Amino acid sequence: MLKMGRVERYIHDRLREGKLHFVLLDPDDVSPETAGKIAGMSEEIGVDAIMVGGSIGAEGEVLDDVVKAIKENSTLPVILFPGSHGGISRYADAIFFMSLLNSRNPFFITGAQALGAFQVKRYGIEPIPMAYLIIEPGETVGWVGDAKPIPRHKPKIAAAYALAGQYMGMRLVYLEAGSGAEKPVPPEMISLVKKVIDVPLIVGGGIRTGEQARRAVEAGADIVVTGTAIEKAGSLGKAQKKLKELNRGIKG
Ligand code: 1GP
């Protein structure tokens, strides 16, 4: 059996203490300099990890430069959140080795994974197997990933996919409304998924207030991901304020 690596163990250790907050930075939206500053701030505020990735343009040099800047400015684990095999950087600590289970296109279920696997091994990046599910509206990742987004009022479909993911050996489940979604994943869906799976549950997409973050956690999210609310806060001062608000919502 694939042994748990350092980052996955860190996630499980921290989960014993409480809920976690991961900040997502998209190299196509933030400069390395800003990413480094946000990562440093995030660590001070109590964020648990930085995720790096995006659906469009988050590849190559910009990706490497953002990961390096984060590593220089914080000691938080950097976890890749790739849109495809192009989203791999040798400078990251770990990678969500994810399968978009409700895609209509096998490329996003197993194809990109096969194309990226040797690179992950060569660079010694820790793979963390994850079931990735797109919930309506799905936004850019839903479109690019050719998903059949799960309707917001059909929690049972999400729960069935999540449990299937767990039975296929995935050690995390991620419910994704899409970056910048108008509304986050509904609490009823989070609750039902949480009830049926045993692996940690990650929720993200459209969470922009402390109150929304709190509701996700109360419904059963173990890890809450926030991106747009921080990246598009308008200034580093506002980003810091927003980070604190979101972090309080998640950690109480
Ligand atoms: C997107 O779930 C993440 O992949 C975060 O979404 O940018 O809306 O916070 P936001």
Among 20, 176, 231, name the best residue to mutate to test ligand 1's pocket (greatest count of ligand atoms within 8 A of Cβ). 176
Would you state the structure tokens that stand for residue 233, as one six-digit string? 């806060």
Cα–Cα separations (whole angstroms), residue 127 to 123, 137, 250: 11, 28, 26
Q: Ligand 1 atom 5: the closest Cα is on which residue? A: 205
Q: How far apart are CA 124 and CA 77, in angstroms?
A: 14
Q: Ligand 1 atom 4: the closest Cα is on which residue? A: 179
Closest among 83, 171, 165, 77 to 125, alpha carbons compared:
77
94-152 pLDDT tens trace: 999 999 999 999 999 999 999 999 999 999 999 999 999 999 999 999 999 999 999 99
Q: How far is the CA of 23 from the centre of ligand 1 (A)?
A: 9
Would you state the structure tokens that stand for residue 111, as one six-digit string? 């194809």
CA 38 to chain centroid: 16
Q: What is the pLDDT of residue 72?
A: 98
Q: What is the pLDDT of residue 3?
A: 84
Rounded to two decimals, what is the model's pTM?
0.98
Q: How far apart are CA 4 and CA 128, in angstroms?
A: 8
Would you state the structure tokens that stand for residue 53, as one six-digit string? 């990735």
Please report the atom of ligand 1 found closest to the CA of residue 53. 4
Could you tell me the sign of the dihedral formed by the alpha carbons of 203, 208, 213, 219, in that order? negative
Contact 15, 101 (CB under 8 A): no
Please report the atom of ligand 1 found closest to the CA of residue 176. 2
Residue written as tokens 């990109």? 112
Q: How far is the CA of 205 from the centre of ligand 1 (A)?
A: 4
Which residue ranges have their beta carbon within 6 Å of ligand 1? 24, 176, 179-181, 204-207, 225-229
What is the helix, strand, coil percentage profile of the chain, to 5? Answer: 45, 20, 35
Q: How many CB atoms lie within 10 A of CB 232?
A: 14
70-104 pLDDT tens trace: 999 999 999 999 999 999 999 999 999 999 999 99
The mean predicted confidence, pLDDT, of the chain is 97
Q: How far apart are CA 106 and CA 193, in angstroms?
A: 24
What domains can you pick out in the chain, each with its CATH number? Answer: 6-251 (3.20.20.390)
Q: How many CB atoms lie within 10 A of CB 103?
A: 21
Would you state the structure tokens that stand for residue 214, as one six-digit string? 């709190």
Strand partners, 134: 176
Q: How many CB atoms lie within 10 A of CB 58?
A: 24
